[in-house]
Amino acid sequence: MAAPGPSSFDHAARDQATLDFYADEAPVYAASGPRGASRPLAGFLQALAPGARILELGCGAGRDSEAMLARGFQLDATDGVPEIAREAEARLGRPVRVMRFDELDAVEEYDGVWAHASLLHVPRAALPGVLSLVFRALKPGGVHFASFKGGGCEGRDALGRYFNYLTADEVRAAYRRSAAWDIQAITEYLGGGYEGGQGPWVGITARKPI
């Protein structure tokens, strides 16, 4: 399936109120949360060859970025909010590229695309289009992981951030609509978030066929 360019989206692939929230909260957000890498990261990295090139979408404060670099992977860390990217740069001691998801224009450049707790902010109608850009950015055989807050409805949390709140079936359907993914695993688990508390999450691991 051919991936559309950014100009061909029928729906906005970003929510301005969510971007504004992270811009305003950048120092506090960067200082919060767990100190170690995300739980699914180890399995994602095990699926890649040593030194593989990884694109990270929505790197946040850079905790997963730090772990990937420490393991010797080539990393292109990105975030859609300049203020957050600057916080990650301070942690990593290296540049972090400012890029929104719908600005991804790479073609078969990456062995892996890591999107932990980031694509959950893409409005539902635009998600398949963004996923098609991720598919296009991967080399044949490349691996992709993403995680979403579960729930089966879309809306805003108590902090005003937009979430697409997908069920496992809805995650699968969005990927099926976007490109010819080889979906390897979809897992459901409990996890936390910046706002506190525990809730349902859905993780997906998929490959671009060779």
Task: Convert the pLDDT of each residue in 28-76 to its tens digit.
Answer: 988 876 667 899 999 999 999 999 999 999 999 999 999 999 999 999 9
Q: Does the residue 181 lie in any domain?
A: yes
Q: Does the residue 41 lie in any domain?
A: yes
Nearest to 179 by CA among 105, 128, 106: 128
Q: Does the residue 1 lie in any domain?
A: no
Q: Does the residue 49 lie in any domain?
A: yes
C-alpha distances (whole Å) from 109 to each of 44, 58, 80, 106, 123 are: 17, 18, 20, 6, 26
Provide the CATH number for the domain around residue 168. 3.40.50.150
Q: Does the residue 190 lie in any domain?
A: yes
> How many domains would you assign to the chain?
1
Q: Does the residue 95 lie in any domain?
A: yes
Q: What is the pLDDT of residue 11?
A: 54
Residues of the chain with pLDDT below 70 are 1-11, 33-35, 195-197
Q: Does the residue 81 lie in any domain?
A: yes
Q: Does the residue 46 lie in any domain?
A: yes
Q: For residue 72, give its domain range.
A: 6-30+37-207
